[in-house]
A and B are shown apart, each in its own frame.
Chain A
Amino acid sequence: MRNDIAGKLMTAEEAVRRFVSDGSQIALGGFTVNRNPMALAREIIRQKKRNLYVVCHSHGQALDLLIGAGCVQRLEIAYGGTGRFAPTCIRFRKAVCSGNIEVEDYSNYQMALRFLAGAMGLPFMATKSGMETDIVKVEGFPPEMRGTGKVPSKKLVVVENPFNGGGDRIVLVPALNPDVAIIHAQYVGEDGTVRIKGLTFADLEQARASDHVIVTCEEIVPRSFIREDPDQNSLGAFLVDAVVKAPFGAHPTACHYFYDYDPRHLKLYRDAASDDYLFQQYLDEWVYCLPTLEEYLEKVGVTDLLRIKANPVVGYAKDLDRR
């Protein structure tokens, strides 16, 4: 019997309802302004998921939206920023400073290696990154939280290299096995194979480490197309639980070869996010009142979507006004 996505193809609404629960540990695919799973993030907010435990390396738009909407209780992260549009993510910053969210800092490499450990079925991974820093010496999570649920018993451990005898220190970072990874990809084949174009960041490690994987995609393509060039493929169908067709599903972040990030929307968001009342208005206007992706895209409007449409050769919108 051939693999096919018939059983996995569903709406964002169903995918979130089935695979994201209150308190889930959730890995966000993408990186700051690039290929964030925005359609899924908005659906998570609409379904009022609560107490989420988010794990990611460097995140931006989707993370900030989820935190701002009150969905996130706990966060393990290396970087919260949206490039030049918000050097520090605004709702993230506010939540940390007001104590509304528990946060634990790692570095990008450490977080990526934690997903790798989880993907490989190992309890930890090793690195030379971070010795003698406060990333290693200072903990955000209170001691009584350690070892409960998915919280690792230790933030990290510095050990002596057992092969070396003396004086060579190494940092061990604990594995991650999230409940669910949410990822936006360019293509999913009719057989369920996932193809991500451009940079994959740590999406593949996140997907391979997680118990469930939801993939939104720009296009569903014929089996013959996706199998023509297997070295271009990213993730096997056997690790994917839900596939959702979602054109512009990463908007306002970029999706290589399809569209650039949307400077206008990112600035609109930034202005709204700086004020609590305006931010609630943003959530009402752009999330709660637009239950489908089609309605969201209608509101963004054809003019703005065409403005960010990617040039097929370079994969971004050439000469886009990004001021």
Chain B
Amino acid sequence: MAISAGRMINNGDVLFAGTGISMLAATVAKRIHAPDAVVIFETGGIDPCLEELPLSVADPRVMVGSSLNLGLIEAFSILGHRRLRTIAFLGAAQIDRFGNLNSTVLGDYKNPRKRFPGSGGACDAASLAWGVIIFMEHEKRRFVEKLDYLTSPGWLSGGDSRSEMGFARGGPLAVVTNLGIMRFDGSSRAMYLSEVYPGVNPQEVAANTGFEIDMSRVCEAVPPTEKELFTLREDVDPQRLIVH
């Protein structure tokens, strides 16, 4: 998953990374696919050297060798800067067909069945970044018709609703899961299946998605190369802190 996402990044992009696999993808992208990409953290670490893998956006490892160490407010201003192609990697508990995300609660907000950490900077990233790449485990309970709580705005209700509601830019570019990669239709903004990993049957994707998903455009993804895998396993995460 980390490698698939890394491949979507170009030199010159500014990557906004969250915790977990998000962090891994940004680090891998920078090591292999886009060495001139700039990794930024909402905590204010701008372009750190990332010699060791951070386990949190506030890990001291995000502060080292950076060009700037800023406050939260400046970091979010950079995330939303009109001149910068900022790409945020986000994860969530639930996602709907338009890439809106839930990382707050399951059940009723005032009496939840389950409580997650909350938005953190996710809502901000989804609102302000140039584009968003979303990581999810591909399960029916996660890919839902209707979110229990809408934490982070994707394409809202599809079509032009995002810009109509006042967002200057942004929106999800892709969803990367353990089965494949989804993208969003250029006009309806509904999710469709773009690629499956080698060995994955598209029907498996449909079976694990709680809403109808267009599968007419699917093709097979290129598997990770040896170099990508080596970098991920031996260079970026040798203690296997995030990689399984």
Interface of A is mostly: loop
> Within the assembled complex, what's the spacing in Å between the Cα atoms of A182 and B76?
23
Q: Are B165 and A134 in contact (CB under 8 A)?
A: no
Known contacts A88-B117, A99-B111, A107-B120; is A254 also within 8 Å of B59 by CB? Answer: yes
Q: Which residues of B contact A168 (CB under 8 A)?
A: 166
Q: Are B51 and A314 in contact (CB under 8 A)?
A: yes
Q: Are B44 and A93 in contact (CB under 8 A)?
A: no
> Within the assembled complex, what's the spacing in Å between the Cα atoms of A133 and B167?
12
Q: How far is the CB of A39 from chain B (nearest CB, A)?
A: 19
- Cross-chain contact of B58 among A128, A169, A199 (Cβ < 8 A): A199
From B135-143, B145-153, B180-188, B199-207, the one touching the partner chain is B145-153
> Within the assembled complex, what's the spacing in Å between the Cα atoms of A133 and B241?
33
Q: How far is the CB of B53 from chain A (nearest CB, A)?
A: 9
Q: Which residues of A contact B121 (CB under 8 A)?
A: 58, 78-79, 107-109
Q: How far is the CB of A309 from chain B (nearest CB, A)?
A: 12
From B5-13, B65-73, B208-216, B222-230, the one touching the partner chain is B65-73
Q: Are B127 and A129 in contact (CB under 8 A)?
A: yes
Across the two chains, which residue of chain B brings its CB closest to A58? B120
- Residues of B in contact, count (CB < 8 Å): 60
Q: How far is the CB of A185 from chain B (nearest CB, A)?
A: 14
Q: Are A84 and B63 in contact (CB under 8 A)?
A: no
- In the complex, the number of residue pairs spanning A and B with C-beta atoms less than 8 Å apart equals 201
Q: How far is the CB of A38 from chain B (nearest CB, A)?
A: 14
> Within the assembled complex, what's the spacing in Å between the Cα atoms of A30 and B69?
15
From A146-154, A201-209, A219-227, A267-275, the one touching the partner chain is A201-209
Known contacts A87-B117, A135-B151, A323-B239; is A32 also within 8 Å of B63 by CB? Answer: no
> Within the assembled complex, what's the spacing in Å between the Cα atoms of A318 and B51?
10
> Within the assembled complex, what's the spacing in Å between the Cα atoms of A78 and B18?
14
Q: Is B80's CB within 8 Å of the partner chain A?
A: yes
> Within the assembled complex, what's the spacing in Å between the Cα atoms of A35 and B42?
16
Q: Are A77 and B127 in contact (CB under 8 A)?
A: no
Across the two chains, which residue of chain A brings its CB closest to B123? A107
- Cross-chain contact of A135 among B57, B62, B114, B123 (Cβ < 8 A): B123
Q: Is B81's CB within 8 Å of the partner chain A?
A: no
Q: Mark A266-309, 1 if CB is under 8 A from B, else 0.
A: 00000000000000000000000000000000000000000000
Q: Is B198's CB within 8 Å of the partner chain A?
A: no
- Cross-chain contact of A79 among B44, B117, B152 (Cβ < 8 A): B117
> Within the assembled complex, what's the spacing in Å between the Cα atoms of A200 and B71?
6
Q: Which residues of A contact B58 (CB under 8 A)?
A: 30-34, 58, 83, 199, 201, 254
- Residues of A in contact, count (CB < 8 Å): 68
Q: Are B56 and A83 in contact (CB under 8 A)?
A: yes
Q: Are A134 and B117 in contact (CB under 8 A)?
A: no
> Within the assembled complex, what's the spacing in Å between the Cα atoms of A295 and B153?
48
Q: Is B220's CB within 8 Å of the partner chain A?
A: no
Across the two chains, which residue of chain A brings its CB closest to B63? A198
Q: Are B165 and A132 in contact (CB under 8 A)?
A: yes
- Cross-chain contact of B72 among A32, A105, A108, A133 (Cβ < 8 A): A108
Q: Are A79 and B118 in contact (CB under 8 A)?
A: yes
Known contacts A79-B119, A128-B167, A199-B45; is A33 also within 8 Å of B73 by CB? Answer: no
User: Which residues 152-211 of B have a CB within 8 angstroms of A?
Assistant: 152-153, 156, 161, 164-168
> Within the assembled complex, what's the spacing in Å between the Cα atoms of A172 and B119?
18
Q: Are A134 and B44 in contact (CB under 8 A)?
A: no
Q: Are A108 and B42 in contact (CB under 8 A)?
A: yes
| Closest 4 pairs (CB-CB, A-B) | A83-B56, A169-B166, A79-B120, A81-B117
6 A/B residue pairs, CB under 8 Å, sorted by A: A58-B120, A113-B73, A130-B127, A133-B152, A199-B45, A314-B64
Give residues in B with beta carbon < 8 Å to A. 19-20, 42-45, 51-52, 55-64, 69-73, 76, 80, 104, 109-124, 127-128, 149-153, 156, 161, 164-168, 239-242
